[in-house]
Amino acid sequence: MLGCALFLLAPPAATPRRPFPRRLGRPLLCAPADIRVRVVEPTDLTQLAELCTSALYGEADIWRDGPIAVAQRRQILQEQRNALARRIDLEGDAESLFLVAIEPSKYGERVCGCLDLAVHLFDAEERRFELERDAMPAAAAADRYRWSPYMASIAVAAADRRRGIGGQLVQTAEAWAERNGYTEVMLEVSDRNEAAIGFYERGGYSTLSTFAEGEAGGGGEVVVRRGVQWVVEPTGKRVMRKQLCES
């Protein structure tokens, strides 16, 4: 399996119509050592596209992997760039939060990690997210649906793993959720991504529900190498949840 251990194979979070209680703002957030976490900016786009492509698919060298893999990666990189550009455009107006971890270098700020957070509708009866819904169902029972912070698109550059960057991004998202009155944070992850599952379990997340391939919005996905090209394979997935301190 290729890709970063922390990367959730999910598109950028859809824009919920329910407003967040308060905005995060743009000041520096807590950060380990020389890494700091802040809200995404348009100038991050090029580095973000490369980061997410590498986390999801890895690298491709024409001598080692051949021209087909190189061409495929180039296409994927452009697709990632287009999707991220649309997502970044939402940041100033939409109620969503895209975080990046950055490190200073002699060439300027280097993006070494990212996390996308949005509030989505959670079906407590089915124990699954309704990512395509942007409004509470009119006839919903009060105890069935709720709005819950949902993390996606978590990636850390290969050279920066084991530096605590993934944990810092997650903790920043959790702190935001708690400050804004939420008592939980949730996510979805492929049931074949054992490294990511272990990472979240160590951070206090537990499995709330599991779904087979094709269930609950399509299940999970993993990227594998098949001959000279990468293939996205459907998998089962699990919904994981962390209970935050009551305010």
Pairing of strands 184-190, 145-156: parallel
Predicted confidence (pLDDT) per residue in 30-57, tens digit: 445 688 999 999 999 999 999 999 987 8
Pairing of strands 229-235, 184-190: unpaired
What is the pLDDT, as a whole number, of residue 235? 84
Q: What angle do CA 14, 84, 15 make, to 5 degrees?
A: 15
The sign of the dihedral angle between the CA atoms of 48, 50, 119, 184 is negative
Q: What is the pTM of this model?
A: 0.82
Overall average pLDDT of the 161-190 stretch:
92
Under 8 Å between Cβ of 112 and 51:
yes
| Domain 36-185 CATH assignment equals 3.30.470.20 | no
Overall average pLDDT of the 207-226 stretch:
78
Overall average pLDDT of the 86-114 stretch:
86
Domain ranges of the chain: 36-185
Q: Name the pLDDT band for 63 (thresholds 50, 70, 90).
A: confident
Which residue, among 110, 6, 98, has the nearest Cα to 56 in the 3D structure? 6
Overall average pLDDT of the 131-152 stretch:
83
